[in-house]
Chain A
Amino acid sequence: MDLTLLMYLIPSLIMFGCGVYGFLTRKNMIAIMISLELMLNSIDINFVVFNRFLFPDQYEGMFFTLFAIAIAAAETAVALAIIINVFRAVKNVDINEITKLKF
């Protein structure tokens, strides 16, 4: 059985959906962080798959993925640092703790 484009795209979409769902439901900031990673990674899959299946004669998607991974790493680093900051401030990583600024 040949693996078609959709066979990659659908899991990627599910992955993205999981990420979104996780982001919206988890209370722990770390878990939210992980959900975000899921989303970013699913996008990477998209790029790679599109490149591989649709436009196999160039590497733009691949390169993009490489950069995206790096960026994701940077984002994670910054996010973690900030989570630590928040933890120092409120002694907690519950996302519902940081809702002082509103309306």
Chain B
Amino acid sequence: MDYSQFLLMPQEVGLLLVFLLVFIYDTFMPQRSQRALPVFTTVLFAIYTAICFVPCEVGSAFAGMIETNQATWAMKNILNVGMLIVLMQAAKWTNEEFMRVRRGEFYELLLLTLFGMFLMISARHFLLFVIGLETASLPIACLAAFEKKRYESHEAAAKYVFTAIFSSAIFLLGISFVYGIAGTLYYNDIATMIIGQKSTLLVVALAFVIAGVGFKLSLVPFHQWTADVYQGAPTAVTAYLSVISKGAAAFSFLVIMAQVFGAAYSTAWEWMLYAVIILTITIGNLFAMRQHNLKRFLAFSSISQAGYIMLGVIAANTLGMASMMYYVLVYVFSNLAAFGVIAAIERQTGKTTTDDYNGLFKTNPWLSFTMMLAMFSLGGIPPFAGFFSKFFIFVGACKTGSVAVYVLVLIALVNTIISLYYYLLVVKAMFIRQDDCAIPTLKSSCGERAAMIVCALGIILIGLASCIYTSLTEYTAAIANIFSQI
């Protein structure tokens, strides 16, 4: 075995190193220095994230099972940034009393899931993908159940674990059909085997694969765990789940759809996805409209956002892919900003409903400001980043030129109005409504504050600084061959 192959996956290796160091610290350091674990992890991860921005070598390793290219590198970096923000936000929370014994586990599981996602992104073989998928999803069930005192936490975990296993069973069934048709599990080989095939089995397999990954992405109708788990899980976990996990799944979904099933694009999955996207955006929005619990509200909002992300997949071109990655990046900042505020408030007051936020601006102007930025960005209001990402993803989708996609984009656009409505409800609560017993002025921790500043800056600057999107298009242009089948 050629160990130099590991050099082709520096981010994974680096992440494992971080994991190991955290593990060692957790296991061997004395109890009194355990309180420094969050800071240790965060700093370590920050260093790692910074190092990862060094461009890496491009190529495939382990007999082509894993591939590193600029797009995967960029995607992993995006996830790293998101992870870093989550770690910063969680630092204070993990130091609370009830987390004392589980602090280490929290970080270890979190890092492991990230590792699983990296595998999903880089995998070019279904075995590796499945391993990545399961690595990314199982620990989350444990993380969701972390807050032992809260009943919702348990319910969330149970719902997650059962539906996740069911979903992966469906997914595996789909894979088994694919294997039955193609006789191989390499992406490229499957693609060449299924050219011209119009078998029913393939379509069923495709549907099951979409369902399996759609579950991670919370596409409607595979989304129903999302709201309950988001609401029940600890906020840090929810934040993590809503952005990082979604981003990784979206990217790998695009790779699978394009690279493996590219030949079936126009005949089958374009339309399957078409239906799913309409449902996802609309149902997500409709549910989000009437939520009062902010975490649950953001869950439905993230479902609808997933629909928008899928527009980048249905585009099935490099522009769409770049737009999708960009969308995820913006989404990371916007959603984490929102969760950052929610977490900060929940940690100190335990309040999570919209009504609790009435008059927040009077008492906590900066928190409100950050939340407003997040809401505007999610709603796609310029000059915040969300506007750009939405525009680009629509442009990417419309590049296909088909009238059907234009109609789809129109539906998506009409849905933005609904989404704007509920985002504005939050803004309204904070800025317009008055409440005599508003949440008192809070003092956020350094980590939370830093995370919020990073997010706010990201929301304001990412859109205006065009270099990010430009480089993403370059990265995806470099792997244009994955769309060769379409």
Contact = CB atoms under 8 A, between A and B. Distances in A.
Nearest to B139: A78
A89 B149 CA distance: 9
B64 interface: no
Contacts of A29: 158, 162
B294 to A, nearest CB: 14
A61 B179 contact: yes
B322 interface: no
Contacts of A102: 228
B31 interface: no
A21 interface: no
Interface in A82-103: 82-83, 85-86, 88-90, 98, 100-102
Contacts of A79: 141, 161-162, 165
B179 A82 contact: no
B131 interface: yes
B434 interface: no
A89 B154 contact: yes
B138 A68 contact: no
Nearest to A47: B176
Interface string B99-137: 000000000000000000000000000110011001000
Interface of A is mostly: helix
B78 interface: no
Interface of B is mostly: helix
A69 to B, nearest CB: 11
Contacts of B228: 101-102
A74 B134 CA distance: 9
Interface residues of B, number: 40
B190 to A, nearest CB: 11
A54 to B, nearest CB: 6
Given A46-B176, A67-B127, A85-B145, A60 B184 contact: yes
A61 B183 CA distance: 8
Interface in B425-449: none
Contacts of A51: 179
Given A43-B173, A50-B180, A67-B131, A101 B227 contact: yes
A36 to B, nearest CB: 5
A101 B176 CA distance: 34
Interface string B17-34: 000000000000000000
A101 B180 contact: no
B232 interface: yes
Contacts of B138: 74-75, 78
Contacts of A68: 130, 172
Contacts of A83: 158
B271 interface: no
Contact of B154 (A19, A42, A85): A85
A28 to B, nearest CB: 12
B288 to A, nearest CB: 12
Interface string B150-173: 011011111101101110110011
Contacts of B296: 101
Contacts of B134: 71, 74-75
A51 B179 CA distance: 8
Contacts of B175: 64
Contacts of A63: 127
27 contacts: A16-B169, A23-B166, A32-B162, A39-B173, A40-B165, A43-B169, A43-B173, A47-B176, A50-B176, A50-B179, A55-B184, A58-B184, A60-B185, A61-B179, A63-B127, A64-B130, A64-B179, A68-B130, A75-B165, A75-B168, A78-B141, A78-B142, A79-B162, A82-B141, A85-B157, A98-B159, A100-B151
Q: Which 8 A-B pairs have the closest CB atoms?
A: A46-B176, A101-B228, A55-B183, A39-B169, A50-B180, A98-B155, A43-B172, A89-B154
